[in-house]
Structure 1
């Protein structure tokens, strides 16, 4: 029960990080720079946590040589997933940018469990687990997709047009692929934490790698790390602390995967994300646009709970 509570809690926190980083992105006028700051702050937080708990900041001697190469790719996949969503948004719009990666994340989570990929325990795919996954996707459609489409119809008098973007089907497949990367990142980071005997150290390594990649990306894009004039003095203090939430999110995933498996971690955290997203929308937290909860979204949450129960039990 503790693991389930942690999974829901970190899932609820993630949309709050997204809202904070969205405000940071507006301030810095660069999604990559905002992501780098977020990763950097998360790295600082995890560094302090390691020092306070008496863990080493260094990887044990011989660890690199005696473990598979892919254990270092959690941070890389995290950056690819983040950058991929930035690329998807103008091509697919907000609705499908949410739905396609989630579809890939759920499916890949089940496959990782079924085959015991990335050093994880095996949890065979059953008919009821598949039904649970389908209920999760249906719940997300009720909770996110349909209400968002209704808002777009209300504001614009028309739904998103599918014919305006060339190769739309390819972008949709890429969205699903980026979602599989997110599930692989979760599993890899969990296994890395297990190998290091420290979830904190596993999360720290992932953040270090992600921060270095984003640093290179920012320097290529804008050739400096200079903050815009007034970025610090003309904004609320909290815009710089989204990375702390991100660090807790990754740390939670690293802790959970060896205990409950990748598939269950993914679906429960996704449930928490939808709940957290609705809370942010309902109250307009962190300068997010306020969108009151509608009954259809409650129905979606109930359907998602049924899906989680089927995946968890069976």
Structure 2
């Protein structure tokens, strides 16, 4: 039960982090600068907690020399996933930018559990677990695209379907596959960071290392692209204080996953977090939190969320 609470909580935080970082992007004028600042704040926060707990930020040299190279890739995978969403949005549309990475996350989570990749706890892929995961994916599709599908069926038009992206092009399938691949890297990051916490015997230090590597990678991207620092306030007001808290939310997300993986495995951890993510998105839409436009939740979206919860129950209990 504790694992479910942790997974749902950090999942709810994800769309909030997205809204916060989107607002930061408006003020900085660049998604890469916004991501870098968010990662940097999260890294400093986790560094302070690590120093309080471990009294050092350093890792024993024996850990570096004896552990596999993939143990340090979690932060890089997170950056690819984050940047991938930025790139995908104008290429395949908003609906598929959500669905394709989710498909990759669920697929990779089940494979990681089945084969014990990244030293994750082994949980065999049975027909029941597969059906439960499929229910979760169907629930995501209903929640994200259900309103658009109903609008098309009733002849209102002006919406994109699940399988049809707004932009057209010969490379559309390649972008979809990239979205799935980015989602698989996200699930791999969850598994890797979970094992890193066990190796370091400190979940907080593992989260710090992951964030630090991601921050360095984003810093290099900013340098290579030669992006200028540009800070501005909106013409009709001031920058809210909360646009700087995305890094804190992200740090709790990474830390929560590091706790989850040894308890329930990568596949179930990914699925539980996805349910929280969808629930958080609906809450933001319903109440217009964090300066978001209010979009009242519809019955079909609630049905999608219920289908996702049913899928979690199938994977978890059967």
| Shared fold (TM-score, shorter chain, > 0.5) | yes
Q: Offset of 1:83 from its aligned partner?
A: 1.1
Partner of 2:194: 190
State the secondary structure of the residue aligned to 1:65: helix
Q: Is the 8 A contact 1:153 1:159 kept in 2?
A: no
Q: Does the 8 A contact of 1:99 with 1:145 survive in 2?
A: no
Matched, 1:265 2:291: no
- The answer for the alignment partner of 1:242 in structure 2 is 246
Aligned to 2:284: 280
Contact 1:95–1:149 (Cα < 8 Å) also in 2: no
For residues 64-79 of structure 1, what are the structure 2 equivalents within 5 Å? 64-79=64-79
CA distance in structure 1 between the aligned counterparts of 2:54 and 2:201, rounded to whole angstroms: 13
Give the superposition deviation at 1:66. 0.7
**d(CA) in 2 for partners of 1:236 and 1:213?**
27
In structure 1, the partner of 2:185 is 181
Residues in 1 aligned to 2:197 and 2:230: alpha-carbon distance in whole angstroms: 34
Q: Contact conserved, 2:151 with 2:159, CA < 8 A, in 1?
A: no
Distance change in 2, residues 1:290/1:148 (3 Å): farther
- 1:22 — aligned with what? 22
Q: How many residues align?
A: 312
- Cα distance in 1 for partners of 2:248, 2:8 equals 17
Q: TM-score, normalised by structure 2?
A: 0.93
- 1:130-171 per-residue CA deviation (whole Å, 9 max, x = no partner) reads 1101100111111112225557999x9423364723311111
Q: CA deviation at 1:227?
A: 3.8
Task: Assess, with a 3 A threshold, how the Cα gap between structure 1 residues 186 and 236 changes in structure 2: closer, same or farther.
Answer: same
Stretches (4+) displaced over 6 A? 151-154
Residue by residue over 1:76-134, the C-alpha shift from the partner in whole angstroms, topping out at 9 and shown as x without a partner, is: 10011111111110011110000000001001100000000001111000000011011
Q: Is 1:217 equivalent to 2:221 in the alignment?
A: yes
Indicate whether 1:253 and 2:276 are aligned. no
Q: What runs of 5+ residues in structure 1 fail to find an aligned partner?
A: none
SS at match of 1:63: helix
Shift in alpha-carbon separation, 1:152–1:48, aligned structure 2, 3 A: farther
- Counterpart of 1:107? 107
**Distance apart, 1:302 and its partner CA:** 1.1
- TM-score scaled by structure 1? 0.94
Cα RMSD (Å) of the superposition?
2.0
Residues 163-185 of structure 1 show CA distances to partners (whole Å, capped at 9, x for unaligned) of 72331111111111111010001
Relative distance call for 1:170 and 1:210 in structure 2 (3 A) is: same
